[in-house]
Structure 1
Amino acid sequence: MKLVELFYMGGPLFMSLVTIWGIGILVFTAQKLIHFFVQGKVTKSGLGLILLFGSLAMVTGFLGQAIGLIMAFNAIEAAGDISPALVAGGLRVSMITPVYGTILFIFSLIFWGALKEVYTRKSEKLV
């Protein structure tokens, strides 16, 4: 399966929102890395934004899943008798957005942890 297909299967609205939060993670991480390599220092301000955007990505993914499941259950209720294979396929599709959001959250934790460690080590050298 191609990534573009997964994007549209997961629902363009919520997948787009999760992608925007992922771009925020990259922007603030790049900003901190530029400060580190150009100025030789990492400030604590703004580090929390990396974690915030990661959290937003994960929560938006789970919100997209919840709304999708509610819509799917309404359709199942209206249709009546539905095959288990159809329900299983719908559940599989509903997991795309939260998995994407959780992966971005994991990356934000890694970036945040690494930059926080650099900040802590730089602070200890100054003392």
Structure 2
Amino acid sequence: MIDLLFEGGILFMSILTITLAASIGVFAFHLIKKTQDENQIALIKSVGLFALVFGILGQFIGLYSALQHISQVESVSSAMLAAGIRVSSITSIYGMIIFVLSYLMWFTIKLIHRSDQ
């Protein structure tokens, strides 16, 4: 897992990890305090959506950088191209995982609040 953090780019992966921690923190806060403020509950979804978009942005920047380097080299093997695409997709996959987890946490809080009423 640590290898993926470094391989995917330390800047993007660390910011995505912070968003994951923020989602879990907001989720834990709502489980402990059992507040029903809709704006605070929607914060979990917003953080998850940010992670998704930020992960996709990381992939596009990685692809741009890879294609820029490929254009400078006259011949590139298909294995090298595939490796570059794989590395650039790490941030998108991580962002999608955070997005799904955030929505599952949001859905769980909504179910808990619905059962309390």
Same fold by TM (over 0.5)? yes
1:60-71 equivalences under 5 Å are 60-71=54-65
- Corresponding residue for 2:3? 5
Cα distance in 1 for residues equivalent to 2:110 and 2:9? 34
Give runs of ≥4 in structure 1 deviating > 6 Å: none
3-state SS of the aligned residue for 1:15? helix
- The Cα RMSD (Å) is 1.2
The TM-score with structure 1 as length reference comes to 0.87
3-state SS of the aligned residue for 2:38? coil
- How much identity, in percent, do the aligned residues show? 36
CA contact (8 A) 1:43 1:119 kept: no
- Corresponding residue for 2:19? 21
Cα distance in 1 for residues equivalent to 2:38 and 2:85? 41
Query: What is the CA distance between 1:23 and its match in structure 2?
Result: 1.1
- Corresponding residue for 1:35? 33
CA contact (8 A) 1:44 1:116 kept: no
- Corresponding residue for 1:86? 80
3-state SS of the aligned residue for 1:76? helix
- Corresponding residue for 2:41? 47
| Structure with bigger gyration radius | 1
Which consecutive residues of structure 2, in runs of 5 or more, have no partner in the other structure? Answer: none
The TM-score with structure 2 as length reference comes to 0.94
CA contact (8 A) 1:61 1:97 kept: yes
Cα distance in 1 for residues equivalent to 2:6 and 2:113? 39
Which consecutive residues of structure 1, in runs of 5 or more, have no partner in the other structure? Answer: none
Pick aligned residue for 2:52 from 45, 54, 58? 58
Deviations 1:44-82 (A, max 9, x none): 341100011111111111100000100100100011211
